[in-house]
Chain A
Amino acid sequence: MILAGAEFRIPTPIRFPFLGPLGFEAYIDAGNVWMRPEHITWDDFTSRSELDPDAVRVVAGFGPRIELPIGPLRADITWRWRPERSHDKLQSAIGPSF
């Protein structure tokens, strides 16, 4: 198993007091699970076949966030980017993303 991700968190450039906790984030996550380390090949990172179990899954998303005392309240529009593009989805959560 190898997992990796990167996330940009971008605070609102407008610093009005009531907008202070409001921010914006964009992220990309990627990963997969392989049976053996020797099964990991470069093709797994370029495969566009949904039926390829070794193809690296990549998910991207973006959305606003509000900082609360118990952690950020997030709402994201997300979609699977690889191996095949999926429909957009809306998801929300409370708490740090990681």
Chain B
Amino acid sequence: MNFQRFHIEGSVIEPWLLRSRNRGLVTPYFERYDDRADPSWVKHFRYQGVNFQLRRELNRFTRVTIGQDNLWAWQKFTATHVDSTRSDTIIPPQYTTHRLSLSFERDLRDNPFTPSHGSTTRLVAEIAGGPLSGTSSFRKYQVGGTWYTPMKNGWILATRASAGVIDPFGPRPSFSTSEGTPRWRACRSRTAFAPAASTPSGTTARTPFPPAATAVSR
């Protein structure tokens, strides 16, 4: 049996930071992820990092969060049916992302674990790279929402939608092998359906990933 994803994280929370209504969180995390969605490839990912958050509850349903995330990622694609050396030519073996984020969340669900009615709204603005350093520099804006609608016979219709844009800036990152030959240049983005309760990266196993030719990162 092969596990698709292994993720572990722990948070240190200061609920009354500096005796104010602000909550502070420090969350180191580690994740290994093997994507076997395409039988031609096994995509191995290893992420580790630490996330800092400062959160303020504006009222019972609304909160604003300022975050700073530092991610170190390693990745390798292994071809199962074709020449495995091909993966070395298109995939950077590792990258780092340092980002600042500002998010606004409104949660009107009746229950965070098993909601039956209500909705959530989430707005996120991020900036990575630039003076923060890191492999890539980009600005990213996302908006998303979920809606839970009770129906007849106790059925519940849960819908969600999210959209976002990413705007790379600065010099394009280049990746080199140990021989020093540049083999891969691109700006990358990976965004997935984001249940707040899962991981700092907000990924789920149900994400319909783009094809292998589309590099993914976060």
Residues of A within 8 A of B (CB): 1-11, 13, 27, 29-33, 37, 50-51, 53, 57-59, 61, 67, 69-72, 76, 78, 80, 86-87, 91, 93, 95-98
Indicate whether A96 sits within 8 Å of B197 (C-beta atoms), given known contacts A1-B163, A10-B155: yes
Task: Confirm or deny: B17 has a beta carbon within 8 angstroms of a beta carbon on chain A.
Answer: no
Q: How far is the CA of A95 from the CA of B164 in the complex (A)?
A: 25
Task: Confirm or deny: B18 has a beta carbon within 8 angstroms of a beta carbon on chain A.
Answer: no
Chain B residues 154 to 188 lying within 8 A of chain A, measured CB to CB, are: 154-166
Measured between C-beta atoms, what is the minimum distance from B198 to chain A in Å? 6
Of B4, B156, B189, the residue contacting A8 (CB under 8 A) is B156
Q: Residue on B with the closest CB to A27?
A: B206
CB atoms of A32 and B210 under 8 A apart: yes
Q: How many inter-chain contacts with C-beta < 8 Å in the A-B complex?
A: 115
User: What are 26 A-B contacts defined by CB distance under 8 Å?
Assistant: A1-B163, A2-B163, A5-B193, A6-B160, A9-B156, A10-B155, A10-B156, A29-B206, A29-B208, A32-B208, A32-B210, A53-B210, A53-B214, A57-B209, A59-B208, A67-B114, A71-B113, A72-B113, A72-B114, A80-B208, A86-B37, A95-B198, A97-B195, A97-B206, A98-B193, A98-B194
Indicate whether A96 sits within 8 Å of B195 (C-beta atoms), given known contacts A1-B166, A27-B206, A61-B206: yes
Please report the total number of B residues contacting A with Cβ < 8 Å.
41
CB atoms of A70 and B113 under 8 A apart: yes
Residues of B within 8 A of A (CB): 4, 37, 39, 112-115, 142, 144, 146, 153-166, 189, 191, 193-195, 197-198, 204-211, 213-214
CB atoms of B210 and A96 under 8 A apart: no
Indicate whether A8 sits within 8 Å of B210 (C-beta atoms), given known contacts A1-B191, A29-B193, A33-B191: no
